[in-house]
Structure 1
Amino acid sequence: MRKLTLALFAATSLMTVSAHAASDTAPAAAAVRTPLAELGKDDPYIWMEEIEGQRALDWAKAQNDRTLPVLQGDARYAGLHDAALTIVNAKDRIPGVSFVAEDDLRNYWQDADHVRGVWRTTTLASYRTAQPAWSTILDLDALAKAEGKNWVWKGADCLAPESRYCLVSLSNGGKDAVVVREYDTQTKTFVAGGFELPEGKHRFDWIDKDTLIVATDWTPGEVTTSGYPYVVKLVKRGQPLSAAKEVYRGAKDDGGYGVSPYAVRDHDGVVRAVFVLRPLDTFNAETHLVTGETTVKLPFPLKSSIQALVKGQLVFSVEQDWAEQGLKTGDLAAFDLAALKADAAKAQGAFKATLILRPTARESVQGVNATRDRLVVALFENVKGAAYAYDFKGGAWTRGKLDLPANSSVSLGSASDKDDRIFVSVTGYLTPTTYWLADAATGKLDQVKAAPAKFDASTHVVEQFEATSKDGTKIPYFLVRPKNTKYDGSTPTLLYAYGGFQASMTPGYSPTMGKLWLERGGAYVVANIRGGGEFGPSWHEQGLKANRQRVYDDFFAVSEDLIARKITSPRRLGIMGGSNGGLLMGVALTQRPELYNAIVIQVPLFDMVRYSQIGAGSSWMGEYGDPQIPSDLAVIEKYSPYQNLKAGQKYPEVFIETSTKDDRVHPAHARKAAARLEALGYPVLYYENVDGGHAASANLAETARRVSLEYTYLTRKLMD
């Protein structure tokens, strides 16, 4: 069963991890608002906000033509690129799989022979072998060639329980906007006259074989101010989209990521309820129950997320206290779904929640999934993972711990609808990923796959420390350092962080980072700063809006702690972050440039005064605030990197990356950052990939190039 959550913000291999979170309250109308036209009206680079305007594209090409020879001309680039390409194309990577039937598995795979990728299937018995026998379902390289399209795979939603018919999402060059087409996995063809949606930022789900529930822009321009759909309709097979019947309508000024309709099924594939989530801002959302051709608003907190259905219990999490139900921020609880639906129909609201889990101050729920009869939860304590299986019996929940390797990250994979098996992956900074098949009912564990090592980890150790932030808060961080570290500040060190949207930075094995950085004597650090979800919703809330500076103070505290311990020094310390983490990099550049000698700024937010007008920016006002509200703007102007760039500072030469096809965090942020730095007289390296979307990784060749450019830059700045 799919995990049902609020929409995600951003995700990329080395950039960001997406997650949902909570803000303080639902948005309130401001008494005085600054007209949008007044925000940044004197900006000389507004023309860069035309995402594929010829002037902007010509400028980007000129930047690429200047930057690529510098980095690719470095004698070390070729070796780094070859190593990166070998790693990303390796065929001995663990293929992540999802259950389809009792013992049938599916996987999407990319390598040198399948640059765009191939969707394929095998049996569990074959998957257990060293060389599974795969059968192709859809070859995206062949499809792109046959149709003359720049297709990038964005997933497939299949109709349970058979999963024969699937809605395949295809993106032009990696954009969030996709074309949706119905595919028959048995005949391995697109269904003639089947369901099809034109390019858009759709939200959809199956109701039955002949019915979809869809949120999309039914007429041109029928989207929110951030570019997401707000009207939900039922689409019948064989009908034109114009005949779809409306069941719910939000509002054009809704925040967040657009309305999301979804069906909750039992493990026999039977739809037990259909919901519509209506985001009011980035984190606050109404939950509506679909009843026939209308909806009923449920009294759920605005900060809550439906997670799973098991044994008739609708499992949900809350990101705010819910006094009426006796629930606290971060709790995992459940309602009897039948009682919830009955009470909702009568508008009584008498249903009562059963508490499943209340995390401690240093714990957080990082994943939830359901097998046929068990609920499985990934629970992290002090950013170290474990997994628990919960059973609902006699009106109460009991749990048992799965005996997985300790001091690692634990991620929940696909769960079976036929029994209580679930795939679980375990990984660490120096430990390659292992893939386990767990029986949530018995606790039995079977290691199915183990990824081979891709770099020599014997030279390094992992340690966890704490830094003290400006307000006294203890900020944990992981340090992966050479065993022979000389505590004289000479170790080249790369510090990574994100700090937003309740996204947790947990330990993970990165073959490219290990090969291109650790193996060459570097140290790697991940900071668990506020704004993330490492310690639940409250950790995130402490860095929201007016409290944003806390996030940056946390990051500087970790930087200073590394220097104070003499692990590294400003000469040898570099930082990297993407998306919201790219904003963090920009703040570090403008507020504390003396701490760093290298800054990799990936697909960033940068102009926070105009961010709500650029791309999908207005969907994130629950995180950063509304620039049209003077009190919010006063906070934003203090840290917005674009407005705080100044002449005469000792800025390091930065490396800024973005993608023309990024329709989430608009490339104008990166473009304007580079242009203003150059205008102020600073050297800057800039690379804009024409494909790739927000993850900047439309195919593996592009991924290898991006990573090798980054580590060439870091080598020049920190190792030379």
Structure 2
Amino acid sequence: MSTPSPSGSARVTTGLSSTDDPFLWLEEVEGDASLTWVRERNATTSATLAATPEFAHTAEQIRTVLDSDAKIPGLSKIGDLYYNFWKDAEHPRGLWRRTTLEEYRTPEPAWETVLDLDALAASEGESWVWHGASVLRPEYRRALVDLSRGGADADVTRELDLVTLSFIEPEEGGFYRPESKGGLSWIDDENVYVYTDFGPGTMTPSGYPRIVKRWRRGTPLTTAEIVYEGQPDDMAVHAFRSHTPGYVRDFVARAIEFYRSELYLVSGDELVKIDVPASAEVGIKRQWLLIELRDEWTVAGSTYAAGALLAADLEGFVAGARELDVLFEPTATTSLAGTTWTKNHLVLNVLDHVRNRLHVFTPPGTDDTTTTAAERWVSYPLTGVPDMGTVGVSAVDSDASDDVWLVATDYLTPTTLSLLPLGSAPEELRAMPVFFESDGLTIDQHFAVSEDGTRVPYFEVRRADLVLDGTAPTLLYGYGGFEISLTPAYSGGLGRAWLEHGGVYVVANIRGGGEYGPRWHQLALKQHRHRAYEDFVAVARDLLERRVTSTPHLGVQGGSNGGLLTGNMLTQHPELFGAVVVQVPLLDMRRYSHLLAGASWMAEYGDPDDPAQWEFIKTFSPYHLFDPARTYPPVLFTTSTKDDRVHPGHARKLAAAMIAAGKDVTYYENIEGGHGGAANNAQAAHMSALAYRFLWERLA
């Protein structure tokens, strides 16, 4: 589940009492009784599901993919060098490293190690997990590095010298932020913005910072000066500087709730609000303001559609002008997937029936041309994009060139990375190796009809010669929340563990996601949540009706919000499925807003403490929908003790309730891993193998 740059702790002071909830004690994350229960479940799973030769083989096959030296090293251009974070068998926690573009073009590029996380973890006795780094521009000599213990969202920030490749300790004047959700961001060599846990009252109910300060090098954190203080019930705040040459500006961002925010331009000692709808997303580059609408907006006598992308001159807009150019307006089949600035252009990535299409826009005045209305924002489509697959585009250096990285993939085609100078032919730099045999496999897109008549797309990967007799083991995957789109992607692990053995893989693009823009998402919010589940059921039934599979051979898998989805399939439609996998899930929707980051998701699900809203929330709360008298398919629950975003108590409590009722439950909780479920490739391979082997043994 996506949340702002992140520690929260479980609060068990409201909601159900221990009398109402006999498993409330499992919310004590590292309590002796809770961990004893977890270890007992883990031991059972390790002695059964994970003890077979087939499991060991699957885990090894997946880990081979994850550890492969032939994977594509993704690049970030920082100054004249290209940085990459890399994991393999010898470096399970990872290397932050760098090279030149010329060297990267060679078959075996030489890399300079900037930071070895395995060596650091060993020397400091910590289970460090990489959370990223921010390099100070324009000198590129220092970086703020975020490190998490065990993969939790809460992390520490340390300053790294990119010349000496050593940390600058606090006693030497280096910046250091103690463990918390939050972060540091560069202002200049001597100053940073800091948003973190400053003590009681400084964190929001969602567990994120609500105060941002300016902190000068060499001074105690306690002396940092407040720049902005959000409201007590806000979701989060942070601040940052745009270092674009000639357009250096500072901003404060206030997240009111998940889909409502405000952006302020720092002007001296004043904050000037960018006056757009709170639901809109704002982007600023050089003199341009981009506004992506989630809701319809009427301004200066014109009405703009939800999902549209608007452009304006920033200075003019701040001064009160409302001259807006429409760069994109959604249709019944299209939505905006993303935007990328280069030095002279803006690239729009558009989804059309969940297939990417790229368009290049040139803003007025780029080539000293006139800027009459007819000549504003000239555009052309970028051709050569695969028809059935996912294409990602990002700028190589948005201040210095018009080059972009182009990443293309689908379920059967290994991912490729190309360097594309806009207006020229792409240069393929790297291709992921073939990790599984795909000959004879095919990708198709189908549409199911949901209960209210809505057509719901889904992708299906299977053997082209599959006999439609209802016997194929089929894995149906979904998410359906937070305006996140599920698009095709190559997975060596999926191919080796599932597709090579004859399994069918299906991805459902249900409402709640972003496949058709904000409207597709908003149609499944709060009291309309049932639509996402009806869509998923429609896809499942379509598979059954087409005889691709049958109930004994149909399994479902989902994580986080997708775990809530599969939890609802388990409790609402147990008759449809032969096995269910529920990963790092939300399940107790009565208490979710009181656990860790849960309060930040009330814009998605509603407020269970409001009796009127609880009336609809309880209809999709799997923990409350569980009926000991009903028959349920076998279920696997997985979660992580270190997940400080979605509380492990969700999975623990429903699993405990089902075990007490004598149901077929398999449970495994990784001690490390955070919300991703794993802290290194070995753990990731183990967790994936649990899901694939559980499903295969139950469905095949």
TM-score bracket for the superposition, by shorter chain length: over 0.9
Which of 505, 527, 535 in structure 1 is aligned with 2:508? 527
1:48 aligns with 2:26: yes
Deviations 1:234-263 (A, max 9, x none): 1111121111111111122123xx113222
Which of 679, 686, 701 in structure 1 is aligned with 2:682? 701
Which residue of the partner structure matches residue 426 of structure 2?
Answer: 445
Q: CA deviation at 1:41?
A: 6.1
1:281 aligns with 2:280: no
Relative contact order, CA 8 A, sep 6+: which one is greater?
1
Which residue of the partner structure matches residue 412 of structure 2?
Answer: 430
Stretch deviating more after TM superposition (277-286 or 505-514): 277-286
Give, in whole Å, the separation in 1 of the partners of 2:453 and 2:33. 48
Q: CA deviation at 1:196?
A: 1.1
Which residue of the partner structure matches residue 29 of structure 1?
Answer: none
Give, in whole Å, the separation in 1 of the partners of 2:359 and 2:598. 37
| 1:316-395 mapped onto 2 (5 Å cutoff) | 316-324=291-299, 326-341=303-318, 343=319, 349-393=320-364, 394-395=370-371
1:537 aligns with 2:537: no
Which of 194, 214, 225 in structure 2 is aligned with 1:245? 225
Q: CA deviation at 1:75?
A: 3.1
Give, in whole Å, the separation in 1 of the partners of 2:381 and 2:405. 15
Deviations 1:403-460 (A, max 9, x none): 33332201123421311111110000111101111113x2432111111110011121
Which residue of the partner structure matches residue 288 of structure 2?
Answer: 313
Which residue of the partner structure matches residue 152 of structure 1?
Answer: 129
Query: What letter corresponds to residue 418 of structure 1 in structure 2?
Result: A
Q: Which secondary structure does the structure 2 equivalent of 1:616 belong to? A: helix
1:90 aligns with 2:68: yes
Q: CA deviation at 1:38?
A: 5.2
Which residue of the partner structure matches residue 99 of structure 1?
Answer: 77
Give, in whole Å, the separation in 2 of the partners of 1:392 and 1:503. 28
Task: Decide whether the 8 Å contact of 2:670 with 2:678 is kept in 1.
Answer: no
User: Normalised by the size of structure 1, how large is the TM-score?
Assistant: 0.91
Q: CA deviation at 1:221?
A: 4.7
Task: Decide whether the 8 Å contact of 2:310 with 2:327 is kept in 1.
Answer: yes
Q: Which runs of 5+ in 2 are unaligned?
A: 7-12, 365-369
Q: Which secondary structure does the structure 2 equivalent of 1:107 belong to? A: strand
Q: CA deviation at 1:264?
A: 2.7
Task: Decide whether the 8 Å contact of 1:308 with 1:370 is kept in 2.
Answer: no
Task: Decide whether the 8 Å contact of 1:98 with 1:414 is kept in 2.
Answer: no
| 1:639-654 mapped onto 2 (5 Å cutoff) | 639-654=620-635
1:213 aligns with 2:207: no
Q: Which secondary structure does the structure 1 equivalent of 2:248 belong to? A: strand
1:72–1:173 distance in 2 versus 1, CA, 3 Å: same
Task: Decide whether the 8 Å contact of 1:203 with 1:259 is kept in 2.
Answer: no
Task: Decide whether the 8 Å contact of 1:265 with 1:309 is kept in 2.
Answer: no
Q: CA deviation at 1:605?
A: 0.2
Deviations 1:499-545 (A, max 9, x none): 00000000110110011100010000000000000000000000000
1:562 aligns with 2:543: yes
Deviations 1:302-322 (A, max 9, x none): 111123515x21223111112
Query: What letter corresponds to residue 177 of structure 2 in structure 1?
Result: L
1:399 aligns with 2:382: no
| 1:533-682 mapped onto 2 (5 Å cutoff) | 533-682=514-663
Give, in whole Å, the separation in 2 of the partners of 1:239 and 1:647. 59
1:82–1:113 distance in 2 versus 1, CA, 3 Å: same
Give, in whole Å, the separation in 1 of the partners of 2:558 and 2:481. 12
Give, in whole Å, the separation in 2 of the partners of 1:75 and 1:582. 28
1:406–1:227 distance in 2 versus 1, CA, 3 Å: same
Q: CA deviation at 1:608?
A: 0.3
Which residue of the partner structure matches residue 367 of structure 2?
Answer: none
1:123 aligns with 2:95: no
Q: CA deviation at 1:597?
A: 0.7
Give, in whole Å, the separation in 1 of the partners of 2:84 and 2:395. 11
Query: What letter corresponds to residue 187 of structure 1 in structure 2?
Result: T
Which of 190, 209, 221 in structure 1 is aligned with 2:167? 190
Q: Which secondary structure does the structure 1 equivalent of 2:106 belong to? A: coil
Give, in whole Å, the separation in 1 of the partners of 2:305 and 2:17. 39
Q: Which secondary structure does the structure 2 equivalent of 1:59 belong to? A: helix
1:262 aligns with 2:240: yes
Deviations 1:80-120 (A, max 9, x none): 11211111110000011111124x21000000011100000
Q: Which secondary structure does the structure 1 equivalent of 2:310 belong to? A: strand
Q: Which runs of 5+ in 1 are unaligned?
A: 1-6, 12-17, 19-34, 344-348
| 1:453-464 mapped onto 2 (5 Å cutoff) | 453-464=434-445
Task: Decide whether the 8 Å contact of 2:471 with 2:548 is kept in 1.
Answer: yes
1:424–1:594 distance in 2 versus 1, CA, 3 Å: same
1:271–1:247 distance in 2 versus 1, CA, 3 Å: farther
Q: CA deviation at 1:697?
A: 2.2
Give, in whole Å, the separation in 2 of the partners of 1:40 and 1:376. 54
1:291 aligns with 2:267: yes
Task: Decide whether the 8 Å contact of 1:466 with 1:476 is kept in 2.
Answer: yes
Q: CA deviation at 1:10?
A: 9.8
Task: Decide whether the 8 Å contact of 2:16 with 2:591 is kept in 1.
Answer: no
Which residue of the partner structure matches residue 79 of structure 1?
Answer: 57
Task: Decide whether the 8 Å contact of 2:640 with 2:671 is kept in 1.
Answer: yes
Stretch deviating more after TM superposition (407-416 or 467-476): 407-416
1:638–1:535 distance in 2 versus 1, CA, 3 Å: same
Give, in whole Å, the separation in 1 of the partners of 2:18 and 2:363. 55
Give, in whole Å, the separation in 2 of the partners of 1:277 and 1:560. 44
Deviations 1:370-425 (A, max 9, x none): 11121122211100112222110244212222233332201123421311111110
Q: Which secondary structure does the structure 1 equivalent of 2:529 belong to? A: helix
Which residue of the partner structure matches residue 699 of structure 2?
Answer: 718
1:580–1:340 distance in 2 versus 1, CA, 3 Å: same
Q: Which secondary structure does the structure 2 equivalent of 1:323 belong to? A: strand
Task: Decide whether the 8 Å contact of 1:369 with 1:415 is kept in 2.
Answer: no
Task: Decide whether the 8 Å contact of 2:59 with 2:689 is kept in 1.
Answer: yes
User: Normalised by the size of structure 2, how large is the TM-score?
Assistant: 0.94
1:38–1:655 distance in 2 versus 1, CA, 3 Å: closer
Task: Decide whether the 8 Å contact of 2:289 with 2:314 is kept in 1.
Answer: yes
Q: Which secondary structure does the structure 2 equivalent of 1:115 belong to? A: strand
Which residue of the partner structure matches residue 201 of structure 1?
Answer: 181
Deviations 1:186-213 (A, max 9, x none): 1101123211110111144212221212
Identity, % of aligned positions:
43
Give, in whole Å, the separation in 2 of the partners of 1:100 and 1:37. 49
Stretch deviating more after TM superposition (411-420 or 46-55): 411-420
Task: Decide whether the 8 Å contact of 1:226 with 1:615 is kept in 2.
Answer: yes
Q: Which secondary structure does the structure 1 equivalent of 2:218 belong to? A: coil
Give, in whole Å, the separation in 1 of the partners of 2:267 and 2:23. 49
Which residue of the partner structure matches residue 9 of structure 2?
Answer: none
Task: Decide whether the 8 Å contact of 1:246 with 1:293 is kept in 2.
Answer: no
